[in-house]
């Protein structure tokens, strides 16, 4: 292993790629189950209703980290780029846990808007959900290849992963802002 670089042999990479695939399939399946399960887990507390607000803050911070990551890499500051992307990745993981907790314990909120805003909301929501469901695989691949300094594969995947990830974080906040008036108090 060179100084400052992490390397994985081909069998190790195969194992990592299998885990990335398993995680990328399992997470959307778990989220779907939580969203559509007939009864929610009763945690006996109203604190879970704070989680959508927290999730919007986390998504906003992740958006900032993603944009800073682009700025830093364009400036050639790879140390700050890696730090920004690690922050975005960590925020995504925290968001995912919070999202799973919320949707496992609270009933879904219905959008109450009428007129032209309703199809706009549902377009954003549906595209957000679809991209969020497929985003994890390229994000994990891009992060992995960046981590192991396989920059050729990292750059190829980032061309797809970055815009999808950015779209998901931005539309997550927009969808939250649009539905937040309808959350239970």
Q: Which of these, 105, 130, 139, 95, lies nearest to 34 by C-alpha position?
A: 105
Q: Which structural domains are found in the chain, ordered by start?
A: 10-36+49-182 (1.20.120)
SS3 letters across 118-142: HHHHHHHHHHHHHHHHHHHHHHHHH
**Tokens read off for 45:** 């507390």
Convert the pLDDT of each residue in 55-108 to its tens digit: 999 999 999 999 999 999 999 999 999 999 999 999 999 999 999 888 888 888
Rg, Å, the chain Cα set: 18
pLDDT at 5: 54
């Amino acid at each position: 292993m060179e100084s400052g670089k992490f390397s994985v042999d081909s069998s190790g990479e195969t194992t990592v790629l299998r885990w990335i695939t398993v995680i990328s399939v399992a997470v959307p399946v778990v989220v779907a189950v939580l969203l559509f399960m007939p009864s929610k887990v009763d945690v006996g507390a109203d604190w879970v209703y704070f989680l959508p607000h927290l999730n919007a803050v986390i998504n906003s911070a992740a958006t900032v980290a993603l944009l800073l990551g682009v700025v830093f890499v364009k400036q050639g500051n790879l140390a700050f780029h890696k730090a920004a992307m690690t922050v975005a990745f960590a925020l995504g993981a925290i968001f995912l846990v919070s999202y799973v907790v919320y949707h496992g314990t609270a009933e879904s909120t219905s959008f109450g808007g009428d007129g032209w805003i309703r199809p706009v909301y549902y377009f954003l929501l549906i595209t957000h959900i679809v991209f969020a469901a497929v985003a994890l695989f390229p994000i994990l691949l891009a992060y992995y290849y960046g981590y192991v300094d396989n920059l050729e594969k990292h750059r190829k995947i980032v061309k797809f992963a970055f815009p999808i990830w950015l779209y998901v974080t931005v539309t997550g906040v927009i969808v939250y802002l649009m539905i937040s008036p309808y959350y239970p108090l």
